[in-house]
Amino acid sequence: MYQVKSARLLAENVYETWIEAPHVSRNAEAGQFLVLRIDDEGERIPLTISGVDGDCVRVIFMAVGTTTEKLAALKTGDAIHDVVGPLGQPSEVHHFGSCVLVGGGVGIACLPIIAKALKESGNSVIGIIGARNKDLLILEDEMKEACDELIITTDDGSYGIKGFAAGPLKEICESRPPDAVWVIGPAIMMKVTSGVTKPFGIKTFVSLNPVMVDGTGMCGSCRVVVNGETKFACVDGPEFDAHQVDFDLLMSRQRFYHPEEKESREHHHSGGCGCGGHH
56 is in an annotated binding site: no
Q: Verify cis geometry, omega within 30 degrees of 0, for the bond prior to 90.
A: no
Binding-site sequence positions? 219, 222, 234
Binding-site sequence positions for [2Fe-2S] cluster? 219, 222, 234
